[in-house]
Amino acid sequence: MQSLADWPVYCWIVAGILVSLVMPVVRQLAVPPPAGAHGIGTFLQRLWPTARPYVFMAVFSLMAALVILAGVRVKKLEVDSVWGAFLLGYFCDATIQKLKP
């Protein structure tokens, strides 16, 4: 099978990273709000404080995707499916999240 070009590989690595970043936010927002708090306003008030650390990490992770792609290309590894690129991004970012202080 032919290796994918750099641009699609980068996009799928980024997609894996974004899924890795969204999962903890969704998990934290899945906890029911305090009693009496209902509506979209309450959800939005909870969303930004929960997502803010992950937004900053996303910017760092986009740069990490370039490093991943460079490492793959330097080692002359072939990424022959979008799922392989997706998993590269997901697993790399999941590891970075575990290393944060």
Buried b (16+ CB within 10 A) or exposed e, 51-68: beebeebbeebeebbeeb
Judge whether 1 lies within some domain. no
Judge whether 53 lies within some domain. yes
Judge whether 55 lies within some domain. yes
Half-sphere exposure of 97 (CA within 13 A, CB side): 21
Judge whether 24 lies within some domain. yes
Reference 11, options 96, 86, 95, 74; nearest CA is 86
pLDDT at 30: 79
Q: Does the global pTM surpass 0.85?
A: no
Judge whether 46 lies within some domain. yes
Q: What is the pLDDT of residues 41-97, one digit of tens each?
A: 777 788 888 888 888 778 887 888 888 888 888 877 777 788 888 988 888 877 766
H-run or E-run covering 10: helix 6-29
Its domain, for residue 33, covers 6-99
Check residue 4 and report its DSSP letter: P
**Number of domains present in the structure of the chain:** 1
